[in-house]
Amino acid sequence: MKAISARAAWHLFIVALLILAGFAYLGDRSASQYASSEAWVSHTREVESQIAILRAQMAVASSAGYESYADPSALARYQQASQGVDSAIDELRSLTQDNPVEQENIRKLQPAVQNRMQLIAAELSSPAQLPPAQRQSLANESSAAALTSGILQDMRSEEERLLAARTTVSDRTYLRFRIVLAVGVLCVFGLLIFAFRALLTQVSQKAAAERSVRKLSAHILRVQDAERRRLARELHDGLGQIFAGLNMELEVLSQSKGLDDGRIQSLANAQQMAAEGLSQTRTISYLLHPPMLDEFGFEHAAKWLVDGFSARSKIDVDLKISQPFKRLPDSIELVMFRIIQEALTNVHRHSGSVRAEIVAALHSDRVHLTVRDFGKGIPLDLLKRIEQSTAESGVGLAGMRERVAELRGTFAIHSTSHGTVIAVSLPIAEEDQAFADGGPDAQPLTERARDIDTRERDFGAFSRVALEM
């Protein structure tokens, strides 16, 4: 999957919002329709419930009329049932205002119910005897009961018809609502999968780009070290030899006869400047790449660097190296040396500290290096840029971090107003450990240094040819 552009991502985001808004609208409409259909179903069931209540109240009133001879409380039960009948009829009339068929049934029902209730009341008025007229009222009450039962049955049938129709509508609305929700969820799920895949693609491409940048940074650092080695050799073998030869020629001239005092003094000054030029050339050459790092290892090179730095900067540096400290692979020793060199340069230029501490410790599978000063520390914004950015690779602290990252080590900076601590830990591979322990296959130091010089000389010649093309 190809990565999408920022413009395409914005378009996709807008389309996703529109789709979500559309499904939200459809879902809201479906939910409203479903709620409305369910309300009509509930309304129909409420009407049926009121019809059942009316039937029950009339049954209670009728039973009170039949039990009046044996139960003195029949009149009270009748009165309570009569009030319930009136209330049920009023509630039915209110519930069925929108249904003309039910309104017509209620119009027929009300006089029939009133007639039946009057007949029941007549039965309760004279419980002690049953004249023929009273027996006729019982027959009329039975006829009225049949009439009201028929009307109530018609009302119930109408409500059952409405309930079936409204239930069908409710089921369809519910099904439509579920379909809208399912399609919406599937669309959102599809958009999330697409966005997630696009994000994974962006992350993988970013990681690949970061790996490429790291490889380029590591290559630049290696080229830088190779160029330093080449320049150091050329300074030592070229310009250094010129100054040495010049100093010898001046020495010969100073021993010539017939020179006046002024010329003798000029030759002495020239000889002193030639000696100073030779000394500075050697110092610069050794700072670029000290030959003792290849010949004698990190421990001696670090002591030489610290002694020269303390003499030039007047900063007291306490170097502590755990014993015994064996030889390490060239890559590790070079990184440790460059870290100390860059850290001491920063101490001299930026920290304002008058002393520093360096601790190097060799363990079974790792080597640890700590450089500490007691100055004013690193500004927080600068420290964050160094920790987050790789644009400054090869320069200062960022260069240290890239060198350590190339060897899969850890690099940490802790800085406060009381000073800065740089902590480095580098792993030693098994084959590197065999070299550090001086295994049978370990190459002699002088031969290894000679091989390295040969490779670097070939690389330097190639670089010059490439630059001239």
Q: Return per-residue pLDDT of the chain as tens, 469 residues.
A: 566 677 777 877 788 888 888 888 888 888 888 888 888 888 888 888 888 888 888 888 777 766 654 556 777 777 888 888 888 888 888 888 888 888 888 888 888 888 878 777 776 665 544 454 444 455 566 777 788 888 888 888 888 888 888 888 888 888 888 888 888 888 888 888 888 888 888 888 888 887 787 777 777 767 877 787 778 777 777 777 787 788 787 777 777 776 677 777 787 888 788 888 877 887 787 777 777 777 888 888 899 889 988 988 899 999 999 888 888 888 888 889 889 988 998 898 888 889 999 999 988 788 999 999 998 888 888 777 766 654 444 457 777 888 888 888 999 888 888 889 999 999 987 545 444 444 434 444 334 444 434 433 433 333 333 223 3
Label residues 91-101 b or e (16+ Cβ within 10 Å = b). Answer: bbbebbeebee
| Cβ atoms 207, 268 nearer than 8 A | no
Residue 65 identity (one-letter amino acid):
G
Both tokens assigned to 289: 């790449």
pLDDT digits (tens, 9 = 90+) for 260-286: 777 777 878 887 888 888 778 877 877
| Cβ atoms 81, 57 nearer than 8 A | yes
Q: What is the pLDDT of residue 317?
A: 92
Q: What is the pLDDT of residue 370?
A: 93
Q: Which of 221, 217, 363, 228 has the alpha carbon at shortest distance from 294? A: 228
3-state SS, residue 83: helix
Residue 4 identity (one-letter amino acid):
I
How many Å apart are CA 37 and CA 47, to the nearest integer? 15
Q: What is the pLDDT of residue 125?
A: 65
Write down the CATH superfamily of domain 290-438: Histidine kinase-like ATPase, C-terminal domain (3.30.565.10)
pLDDT digits (tens, 9 = 90+) for 302-354: 998 899 889 888 999 999 998 888 888 888 888 898 899 889 988 988 888 89
Q: What is the pLDDT of residue 316?
A: 92
How many Å apart are CA 155 and CA 333, to the nearest integer? 102
Q: What is the pLDDT of residue 330?
A: 85
What are the structural domain ranges in the chain?
6-202, 290-438
E-state strands within 152-245: none
Cα angle 304, 306, 311; round to 5 = 95
Helix or strand run (H / E) with residue 292: helix 291-295
Q: What is the pLDDT of residue 231?
A: 80
Q: What is the pLDDT of residue 233?
A: 76
CA distance to 67, 220, 234, 269, 469, per residue, from 465 (Å): 128, 18, 17, 40, 6
Looking at CATH, the fold of the domain delimited by 6-202 is given as A middle domain of Talin 1 (1.20.1420)
Q: Which of 274, 282, 324, 272 has the alpha carbon at shortest distance from 304? A: 282
Q: How many CA atoms lie within 13 A of 370 on its CB side?
A: 13
Q: What is the pLDDT of residue 457?
A: 40
